[in-house]
Amino acid sequence: MKKNSSVTINDVASEAGVSKSTVSLVIRNSSLVKPATRKVVVEAMQRIGYVYNRDAANFRSRSSNIVGLIIHDLTNPFFAEMYVGLEKRLANSGYIALLSNTSEDAEVQLRNFNIMKEHRIAGFIVCPAQGTDQQFIEALKQQNTPVVSVIRRLPDPDKSFDYISADVRQGTYLATRHLLEQGYRHVGYIGGLDTPIRKDRLKGYKQALSEFDLRVDEKYIYTCQPTRANGEKAIRELMLSPNVELDACVCYNDLVALGTLWGLHDLGVAVGKEFGVVGFDNVAAAAHTTPPLTSVASNSDDIGRAAAERLLHRIENNTEQPVHIVKPVELVVRNSSGRQPD
Amino acid sequence: MKKNSSVTINDVASEAGVSKSTVSLVIRNSSLVKPATRKVVVEAMQRIGYVYNRDAANFRSRSSNIVGLIIHDLTNPFFAEMYVGLEKRLANSGYIALLSNTSEDAEVQLRNFNIMKEHRIAGFIVCPAQGTDQQFIEALKQQNTPVVSVIRRLPDPDKSFDYISADVRQGTYLATRHLLEQGYRHVGYIGGLDTPIRKDRLKGYKQALSEFDLRVDEKYIYTCQPTRANGEKAIRELMLSPNVELDACVCYNDLVALGTLWGLHDLGVAVGKEFGVVGFDNVAAAAHTTPPLTSVASNSDDIGRAAAERLLHRIENNTEQPVHIVKPVELVVRNSSGRQPD
DNA sequence: TAGAGTTTTTGGAACGTTCCAAAAAAAAAT
DNA sequence: ATTTTTTTTTGGAACGTTCCAAAAACTCTA
């Protein structure tokens, strides 16, 4: 009986001895149908193995329960976790996710978006690739389904999309202040390209320094793509630079932090004693580095859920002004930011 | 002009002064239409901002370019990377992925599968959750679209699905032999529940031992859910057990290995000198542990691609017998398996 | 230039559902 | 028992595309 499910609503109707309209109502849980009738129909459906053709339904009703997810790097555990939170929330409301990993490639992003569009999607959640251009923004605006951006803001001058982010400024502030409180006095900032989010983070960094009456020294701010390899390279360059005497650093994210841990280990620097390191994201690996990494936790799972919630809300009601939701962060202190008493 | 794209093929037709059938042919790149006509139509499409309604098309032609992906844990970097390879390959052939992360929950798995089914999917790629039961297998068999399983085999007595896996037996063999060649003589095996894959791995482990004329001692084989925390717990128990004198271990996967590294560090054991550790999967983090982790690489990206390829092939031609494709693995040697000369 | 052959275009039915207005059935009121 | 009201069920049109058989437009040959 594994025939290509051409069992339709009509077959159910004749099996149950009602009209197709009634069957349709039953499927959609309408309160119009009499309980007895519903029972008959449901049984008929089971008897003949009916599978709802949601595409036909969506087609006719011009609606959709598919949400398009565009994420720039799913192999980053933070985003994978975020995805999981997102999907769970969507599933709870009967939505399902078409996913595209863009690998930071703006072209792939545009291409996949166009393919997704053809499926009449209910809404998009986007964590845009680097180099996302106006063409993409325009494309998003053109279509009238809601769009929510997460973590990274879409480079839209009009800020016309909802945006869910972590309070990275506060996080960076907490991280920096913590190192200063530990007694470190030459705290650098490592990683990230010159983006709006990073600017925001640096504000937190600078605020903490100024609260301790310390000057910001641009030599101590290192700009690079936030990868493990670059973290290692950065710390090496900084430590070997003659006119820099770093004794701690705040990292753009945990990947960078892992790189610096590694670099420092290699340089024979005792992290958590003579040098403090703080990461950002609190990925699972942070708890298991040597020494364990102090990190700013921006609950990925939670952010995913929030983004999903926002999108679902927009799908219902797309009249509000765009909002920017900032989820709180917290500092998770482990050994990498410790300090040996002088 | 951001009207809810009710621009249809008919609008294009009248704009271009041809029939809707011609437009349809143009969309589908039919060689039937004269180049000149095609040009006119394409221009008309652009002029009025036509978006192909693929759902309507799929609906009418009873086909689909959506592939259902069911994966048990996307937060495991191995699977995230596999997903990326998979998606890339699918996209190349014009397919797009509906993804479901089951978080090892067989109920979620079944539920999401049923939702996916309603979208008349072209085929499924499944990495089944633990505890996948016959009900799910039956459900997969019921529907007549192809199914490919990856990494974990579907618990189907008839083995009626394609299966793409890494050569874990060989990998475990290589890992064990390597440790033995380094001079370690009390090599344990840590992690994994009693599953078919693990049995396979243990075969490789045992083979290597026997090649060195060593007995298999069940005390040295530790069974547990393969997580970091359990890896740590395992090594601790083993090392503190009075009648066990372990000097090396092969781990079920890198997560477990990271746990053991951590545990050993805590116990003051010098990994890579007096104790050898080998992981499995060669996740990105393996290169950056202390010491760097020797690991068996089963190119995740490649496996994803292979699974996608297999599914695409099946979608074209679903008559062949199910196959089991085993992708080769290789040992990536780093410091964790080193040994101090006696 | 008529006829045959070939290429290109076309109109209408069909896919499986929802929507709608209206019919039928049941319940309540007289 | 009839009428009115309320609840439940229904048939046909519609959604935007593809499919198909047939028409139209060309090309070639004699």
Residue A213 to residue B41: CA distance in whole angstroms: 68
Work out the average pLDDT over B151-179: 96
| φ, ψ for residue A146, nearest 5 deg | -65, 150
What is the residue-wise DSSP string for B188-201? Answer: EEE-B-S-HHHHHH
Q: Which residue's CA lies closest to nucleotide D25 at its C1' atom?
A: B34
Q: Which two tokens stand for residue B269?
A: 């054991």
Which residues is B192 bridged to in the sheet? B224
For residues A228 and A279, membership in a common domain is answered with: yes
Residue B183 and residue B279 share a domain: yes
Structural domain includes residue A336: no
> In chain A, whose CA is at the least distance from the CA of B285?
A285
Do B280 and B249 belong to one domain? yes
Q: Is residue B281 part of a domain?
A: yes
- Measured CA to CA in angstroms, residue B150 lies from A193, A232, B72, B303 at distances of 37, 35, 11, 8
Residues A181 and A274 in one domain: yes
Nucleotides in chain C with any atom closer than 7 Å to protein CB: 7-12, 14-20
What is the pLDDT confidence band of residue B5, given thresholds at 50, 70 and 90? low
Q: Give the C-alpha separation, B338 to B195, whole Å.
A: 30
Q: Does residue B130 lie in a domain region?
A: yes
Q: How far is A209 from chain B (nearest CA, A)?
A: 31
**Rounded distance, CA A203 to CA A172, Å?**
8
Give buried/exposed letters for B131-162 (b at 16+ CB in 10 A, else e): ebeeebbeebeebebbbbbbbbbbbbeeeebb
Q: What per-residue confidence (pLDDT) applies to A196? A: 85
Contact status of B103 with chain A (Cβ, < 8 Å) = yes
Residues lying close to strand C (Cβ under 7 A), chosen from 227-256 of chain A, are none
Q: How far B94 CA lies from chain A's nearest CA (Å)?
A: 8
Write the DSSP assignment of B270-292 as a string of letters: -BTTTBEEEEES--GGGGGSSSP
- Choose the closest CB to B80 out of A55, A62, A74: A74
Enter the tokens of residue B201.
């791995």
Strand bridging mode B294-297 / B276-280? parallel
pLDDT per residue as tens digits for the range B92-123:
999 999 999 999 999 999 999 999 999 999 99
Do B153 and B174 lie in one domain? The reply is: no
Bigger pLDDT: B192 or B342? Answer: B192
Q: For residue B268, give every residue at least 6 positions away whose Cβ sits within 8 Å of its Cβ, in sequence order, or none.
A: none
Report the Cα–Cα distance between both ends of chain B, in Å, rounded.
79
pLDDT score of A4: 47
pLDDT of B10 > 90? The answer is: yes
Q: Looking at residue A287, what is its pLDDT?
A: 83
CA gap A244, B228 in Å, rounded = 38
Q: What is the pLDDT of residues A304-319, one digit of tens each?
A: 999 999 999 999 888 8
Closest nucleotide to B50 by C1' from CA: D16
Contact check, Cβ <8 Å, A87/B66:
no
Q: Is residue B334 part of a domain?
A: no
A-chain CB neighbours of B74 within 8 Å are 74, 80, 83-84
What average pLDDT does chain B have? 94
Contact A326, A167 (CB under 8 A): yes
Cis peptide before A341 (omega within 30 of 0): no
Residues with Cβ < 8 Å from B169, sequence gap 6 or more? Answer: B200, B201, B203, B204
Are residues B18 and B103 both part of a single domain?
A: no
Task: Give how far Cα B143 sits from Cα of A174, A284, B158, Å.
Answer: 54, 38, 16
Domain around A143: 66-166+300-327
Domain check: are B87 and B232 in the same one?
A: no
What's residue A285's pLDDT?
Answer: 80
| Same-domain pairing of B212 and B322 | no
Both A176 and A291 in one domain: the answer is yes
CB contact under 8 A, A83 and B97: no
Let me know if residue A123 belongs to a domain: yes
Question: Per the structure block, which two tokens stand in for B293?
Answer: 């982790």
pLDDT tier at B145 (50, 70, 90 boundaries)?
Answer: very high
Whether B235 and B260 have beta carbons less than 8 Å apart is answered as: yes
Q: Do B180 and B274 share a domain, yes or no?
A: yes
Alpha helices in chain B (DSSP H): 9-16, 20-27, 35-48, 54-61, 77-92, 106-117, 134-142, 168-182, 196-211, 228-240, 254-267, 300-316
In angstroms, the Cα distances linking B37 to A293, B23, B29, B46, B47 are 64, 9, 12, 14, 15
What does the alpha-carbon distance between residue B171 and residue B192 come to, in Å, rounded to a whole number? 15
Radius of gyration, alpha carbons of chain B:
26
Among B254, B257, B291, B252, which Cα is nearest to B273's? B291
pLDDT at B2 over 60: no
Question: Domain end: B259, B276, B297, which one?
Answer: B297
Angle CA(A4)–CA(A91)–CA(A162) in degrees, nearest 5? 125
Residues 6+ apart with CB under 8 A from A183: A339, A342
- Say which DSSP state A287 is in: G
Q: Which residue has the tokens 């279509």?
A: A143
Which residues of chain A are under the pLDDT cut of 50?
Answer: 1-4
> What CATH number should be reported for the domain holding residue A211?
3.40.50.2300
Residue B188's Cβ-count burial label (10 Å; 0-12, 13-18, 19+) is buried
* B143/C15 CA-to-C1' distance in Å: 19
The verdict on residue A339 lying in a domain is no
Domain CATH number, residue B38: 1.10.260.40
SS3 state of residue A297: strand
Largest CA-CA distance found in chain B, in angstroms, rounded: 88
> Among chain A residues 254 through 293, which have CB within 7 angstroms of nucleic chain C?
none
The model's pLDDT over B192-219, given as tens digits with 9 standing for 90+, comes to 999 888 999 999 999 999 999 999 999 9
The yes-or-no verdict on residue B287 having pLDDT over 90 is no
Chain A residues near residue B120 by CB distance under 8 angstroms: 53, 55
Asked if B163 and B322 count as a contact pair (C-beta separation under 8 A), the reply is yes
The answer to whether residue B189 scores a pLDDT higher than 70 is yes
Residue B161, C-beta contacts closer than 8 angstroms, at least 6 positions apart: B126, B140, B147, B148, B149, B154, B322
Residue % of chain B over a pLDDT of 90? 87
Pick from A253, A258, A251, A260: which is nearest to A232 by CA? A260
* Per-residue model confidence as pLDDT tens digits over A95-137: 999 999 999 999 999 999 999 999 999 999 999 999 999 999 9
| B139 in any annotated domain | yes
**Looking at the structure, do residues B197 and B146 belong to the same domain, yes or no?**
no
Domain count, chain B: 3
> Is there a domain that residue B342 lies in?
no
A177 and A286 assigned to the same domain = yes
Q: Does B97 touch chain A (CB under 8 A)?
A: yes
Q: How far, in Å, CA of B181 to CA of B69, rounded?
A: 41
